[in-house]
Homo-oligomer: A and B are copies of this chain.
Amino acid sequence: MIGVVAVLKVQPEKAEEFEAIFTGLAAQVRANEPGNLMYQLTKSRTEAGTYKVLELYKDADALKAHGGTDYFKAAGAKMGPCMAGRPEIEYLDAVG
């Protein structure tokens, strides 16, 4: 399995719009990607405007399939104007 922690920084006035777009994306991921085991948006308690997406995939193919979906690309385009910086994506190898 492969874990992902994606750090997303959002403009304060765009938080509500961002959350709505991301929640819609998450619903599509859960409905369409059997190789995705978790896809949960979370919000930092200490850094305003910072979100972290906790993700878990069955394998590299599942991660690749996720990034290649039309709905992922469409959500990325919609989220772009909400962001306050580039996403930081960390890939992690599951143990156990």
Q: How far is the CA of A54 from the CA of B57 in the complex (A)?
A: 12
Interface of chain A: mostly helix, strand, loop or mixed: strand
| Residue from B41, B42, B95 within 8 A of A42 (CB atoms) | B95
The closest CB in chain B to the CB of A15 belongs to: B95
Contact A19 B95 (CB under 8 A): yes
Bound form: Cα–Cα A15–B90 in Å: 21
Query: CA A87 – CA B90 in complex, angstroms?
Result: 19
Once bound together, how far apart are the Cα atoms of A56 and B22, in whole Å?
A: 18
Q: Can you list 16 residue pairs at the A/B interface with Cβ under 8 Å?
A: A3-B42, A3-B52, A5-B5, A5-B52, A5-B54, A22-B96, A38-B40, A38-B54, A40-B56, A41-B95, A43-B95, A44-B90, A45-B92, A51-B95, A54-B54, A54-B56
Q: Which residues of A contact B (CB under 8 A)?
A: 1, 3, 5, 19, 22-23, 26, 38, 40-46, 51-52, 54, 56, 90-96
